[in-house]
């Protein structure tokens, strides 16, 4: 475990040694959490990232998720929930607070979602029924292992399906897929 005073130091530490998980504050001196997330995602063995903020759901939190963060929590989270979040993200899952999901849904309803309405049908048409089901399970914040259990498949098979799904949807990570699942209303599982 290591600590960093700011985003520049966090990125430097991630380059020095293998970091599996990073908790990144959205408000930091010198480099904010969004830019730190972007830079951490460019590190050769990039860590899984959970962004944290005192200020609740906002556009900065969404930008950090779009930059590659796998989770979002507020700093008032209890220790037990934080450990659960860390375990979930480390296991390959995503963690988006109910407040963030509500925020995304509000944006989608106002037409300010990340995916323009006219592209939604096109994106869904790229996926077969099995891929839509996997997308829904990603949207439900299940890890690869949990999806494998649910679908009675191996974890490596799920990893391959998730990779193909991300490629078909032109996405960089599972967090973007989870956000897209909510925007496309591919929910359930």
Give SS3 for 87: helix
pLDDT value of residue 73:
85
Q: CA 168, CA 172: separation in Å to the nearest integer? A: 11
What is the percentage of the chain residues whose pLDDT exceeds 90?
Answer: 9
| pLDDT tens per residue, range 42-80 | 888 889 999 988 876 667 887 888 888 888 888 888 888
Residue 82 has pLDDT above 80, yes or no: yes
pLDDT value of residue 29:
81
What DSSP string runs through 102-169? HHHHHHHHHT-SSS-HHHHHHHHHTS-HHHHHHHHHHHTT--HHHHHHHHT--HHHHHHHHHHHHHHT
How sure is the predictor about 104, in pLDDT bands with cuts at 50, 70 and 90? low
Please tell me which of 76-90, 91-105, 114-128 the model is most confident about, judged by mean pLDDT: 76-90
pLDDT value of residue 107:
61
pLDDT value of residue 112:
45
pLDDT value of residue 143:
79
pLDDT value of residue 35:
93
**Of 7-16, 56-65, 88-97, 111-120, the least confident:** 111-120
pLDDT value of residue 40:
92
Predicted TM-score (pTM) of this structure? 0.60
Residue 103 has pLDDT above 80, yes or no: no
Give counts: helices (H), strands (E), the chain.
10, 4
**For range 90-94, the mean pLDDT:** 81
């Amino acid at each position: 475990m290591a600590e960093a005073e700011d985003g520049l130091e966090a990125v430097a530490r991630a380059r020095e040694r293998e970091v599996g998980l990073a908790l990144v504050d959205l408000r930091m001196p010198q480099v904010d959490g969004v830019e730190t997330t972007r830079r951490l995602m460019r590190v050769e063995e990039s860590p899984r990232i959970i962004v944290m903020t005192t200020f609740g759901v906002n556009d900065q939190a969404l930008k950090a998720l779009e930059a590659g963060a796998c989770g979002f929590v507020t700093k008032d989270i209890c220790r037990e929930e934080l450990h659960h979040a860390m375990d979930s993200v480390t296991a390959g899952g995503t963690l988006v607070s109910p407040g963030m999901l509500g925020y995304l849904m509000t944006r989608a309803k106002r037409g300010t979602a990340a995916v323009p309405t006219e592209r939604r049908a096109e994106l869904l048409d790229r996926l077969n029924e099995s891929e839509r089901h996997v997308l829904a399970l990603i949207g439900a914040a299940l890890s690869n292992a949990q999806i494998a259990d649910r679908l009675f498949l191996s974890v490596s098979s799920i990893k391959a399906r998730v990779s193909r799904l991300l490629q078909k949807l032109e996405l960089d990570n599972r967090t973007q897929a989870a956000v897209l699942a909510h925007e496309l209303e591919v929910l359930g599982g």
